[in-house]
Amino acid sequence: MVSLHTACGATASDLAQTQYLLRFESLFHAGRGMAFPCDAQGHVDLDGMTDRARDSYLYARAVIGREYAFPQVLSLAH
């Protein structure tokens, strides 16, 4: 099961339509990280994000290798 960081900005209806998440795992806190709805290739919809989610996503990308591991695309298909 994938739990989303509150900064992802995804609502329940967003997640119902989402088939993939782009997950940034913390390098220092096992099991912690941030996840954002994406497509199968890991592309996120920056224009569809809230300001807070966009800021969090851009931050996570900027600190890859220092605070977060390289992101992984996770399938939510059952």
Is a pLDDT exceeding 60 seen at residue 46? yes
Global pTM value? 0.77
DSSP 10: -
| pLDDT score recorded for residue 2 | 43
Q: Across residues 13-29, what is the average pLDDT?
A: 83
Asked whether residue 7 carries a pLDDT value surpassing 80, the answer given is no
Taking residues 35-56, report their average pLDDT: 94
Mean pLDDT of the chain: 85
